[in-house]
Chain A
Amino acid sequence: MSERTYEVPKPYHDAVMHWQKHNFPDYPLLSQTWEKYFPTDQPFCLCARIQESIPDVQPVGAHAGEPRSLRPAELEPEAARHLLAIIRAQASTEFGSIQQHQATLERANDDQDKMWVLRVMAEELRHGYQMIHLLTSADWSSVSDAKPVDMVEEILSMRTGSHVLAAFNLEYDSFVDNVIFCAFIDRVGKYQLTMQKASCYRPFAASMPPMLREEAFHLATGVIPMRRWVEKAASGDPLITMATLQRAVNKWFGRGLEMFGHEAKGHEIVALGLKDMANGEAQDAYIDECGKMLDDLNKRHVRAMEARAATVDEADLLRLPHPRFFRRRGEPAFQMIAVDGAPFADVDAYVRHLGAVLPEAYLASRDVKHYVETLRKLVAGQITIKDAIKSTPHLARVGGACPCSNSVRWVVEDAA
């Protein structure tokens, strides 16, 4: 289980630290409070961690049984292209989640919950750093004209709204989102990291075990506060209700499903030896796991209700939205399906349904506005489903967005 740690070259390290100043200003608080909230835990280290002891041979794909590749040029060009896209998307998610968490971190009403999320954010920073290490420590010129310095700048210039995956382009409405995100979206992260552990590219596969060990705590950072909130909800605490949690679940679950990619696709990624499960298979396992999570939360809530000799209302219990509800990508994209799976034929009725089951603060967001406008155009025949799916946020260059003179761009010039 031994690990080797790496720091990325100074210009990139400086760029990450500069990004942190703008996007993660609470980062220094972690080291100041570490001993109070995580006594005797290994101090946090912003570094890339590579597990040394992983199997030498590829476990899946057309080249299963052959040695893992050590350099991108050793991979089939198609595999290398897909892998590069996966690493860039992974990096985008890591930095993107920090931007989302930071906005509402201060609104936590419990110091421990806040410090747990702060640790999660720092570890996401490390995961992003890990991806930058993978991008900058290898020669990707066989499959990309982009220089490493430009790839790093592109990743660090993304903002909430311009990240690769939709889940990382949603603003948080409150600290409830911080917690629900950890429980649902980090769970997708766990699946992706687990699948990527099978990668035919050794440096990528060996990056996964240390990330997975940290991801385990991220899931606990979601589930354990939720367990305590459902207990509080049972006590009649007016400040946290099951309905609040249900609405947040409705907001995030579909975004989590979409992170797996189209339900019917992903087999080529397995054949190329990059992951060991196709999208639909992984998505089904995720749905089952989320269902178990909500079952456990409901048990906790029911026990707390019973302890008060209160009557449990079945309607109060948490339930997963139907997998086709409120989707904008994948096979069910822009179909008007209710949380319980019932189809709608009328757009206005469906929009009213969304208004009834999504968080109130979220309804006024640009994200819901974009969804509803796109849905209306689609139903009116003004755009195709392909156009509708493509219109969702996607990778966009926002270079030079740094507001101070010592910018990310400056690092690019320094490296050149």
Chain B
Amino acid sequence: MTELDIESITQIDERVTGTYRPEVWEDRAAYYIRRDPDSSQVAEVDGTVVGFMMGEVRGGEFGMNEPTGWVEFFGVDPSARGRSLGRRLLEALLAHFRERGAQVARTMVQEKDAEIAGFLSAMGFKPAKVVPLERRPL
């Protein structure tokens, strides 16, 4: 992923969520590019970016000190689905995590996102021994 993918990523997100949020994706892209530009991935079809997956290796979150590959943001253009792009993006990201010394990959998915949960499950992700907690209202 490079700085020239930001516009395409913003448009994919808009097609998926219905919201145009360029500032959000500029901030997120800047974060990953400055920390590990080789990590986050994009998928192209005929020279057009139709999918992205952002993540990086970090250690120490929530007391889990082992280097962990965190899968954090991803999306595939609805018009490009059914081509195993999500699988290929994730495989590329996981390969990079391994290169960076991670032995585990982690992510979170909301209960309502059954499609994403199904995709991650098919890719070998299993419920972790970590309980997500929240306090609402704060």
A residues in contact (CB < 8 Å) with B: 1, 38, 40-42, 119, 213, 216-217, 219-220, 222-224, 227-228, 231, 289, 292-293, 296, 299-300, 303
Contacts and interface: CB of A to CB of B under 8 A. Distances in A.
Contacts of B99: 1
B2 interface: yes
A231 B2 contact: no
Contacts of A217: 30, 33-34, 37
Nearest to A296: B7
Nearest to B47: A292
Specify which of A216, A228, A292, A300 lies most central, judged by the most chain B CB atoms within 10 Å of its CB. A216
Contacts of B3: 216, 219-220, 222-224
Given A223-B4, A296-B4, A228 B26 contact: yes
A216 B20 CA distance: 25
B6 interface: yes
Contact of B26 (A1, A213, A224, A299): A224
B44 to A, nearest CB: 12
Contacts, number: 53
Interface string B31-74: 00111111000000000000000000010000000000000000
Task: Please report whether the interface of chain A is mostly helix, strand, loop or mixed according to DSSP.
Answer: helix
B34 A38 contact: yes
Contacts of A216: 2-3, 33-34, 37
Given A217-B37, A293-B4, A299-B7, 20 more contacts: A1-B99, A40-B58, A119-B34, A216-B3, A216-B34, A220-B29, A220-B33, A220-B34, A222-B3, A223-B3, A223-B6, A224-B29, A224-B30, A228-B26, A231-B22, A292-B4, A296-B4, A296-B6, A296-B7, A303-B22
Interface in B13-34: 20, 22-23, 26, 29-30, 33-34
B96 to A, nearest CB: 9
B2 A303 contact: no
Nearest to B100: A1
Contacts of B100: 1
Contacts of B20: 303
A292 B49 CA distance: 13
27 contacts: A38-B34, A40-B58, A41-B35, A42-B35, A213-B38, A216-B2, A216-B34, A216-B37, A217-B33, A220-B3, A220-B29, A220-B33, A220-B34, A223-B3, A223-B4, A224-B3, A224-B6, A227-B6, A227-B26, A228-B23, A228-B26, A293-B4, A296-B7, A300-B7, A300-B22, A303-B20, A303-B22
Interface residues of B, number: 20
Contacts of A303: 20, 22
Nearest to A53: B99
A1 B33 CA distance: 17
Interface of B is mostly: helix
A213 B37 contact: yes
* A-B interface, 9 closest residue pairs, ranked by CB to CB distance from nearest: A216-B37, A296-B7, A217-B34, A220-B3, A223-B3, A220-B33, A219-B3, A224-B26, A216-B33
Contacts of B33: 216-217, 220
A174 B4 CA distance: 24
Contacts of A222: 3
Nearest to B7: A296
B73 to A, nearest CB: 16
Contacts of B22: 227, 231, 300, 303
B13 to A, nearest CB: 13
Contacts of B37: 213, 216-217
B120 to A, nearest CB: 25
A11 B21 CA distance: 51
Contacts of A220: 3, 29-30, 33-34
B7 to A, nearest CB: 4
A92 B22 CA distance: 36
Nearest to A290: B4
A227 B23 CA distance: 9
A289 B6 CA distance: 14
Nearest to B37: A216
Contacts of A300: 7, 22
B34 A41 contact: yes
A342 B35 CA distance: 44
Contacts of A1: 99-100
* Chain A CB within 10 Å, residue with most, of B7, B22, B30, B99: B7
A213 B36 contact: yes
Contacts of B35: 41-42
Nearest to B36: A213
Contacts of B2: 216, 219
B39 to A, nearest CB: 10
Nearest to B27: A224
A222 B26 CA distance: 12
A119 B37 CA distance: 16
Contacts of B6: 223-224, 227, 296
Nearest to B34: A217
B7 A289 contact: no
A76 to B, nearest CB: 33
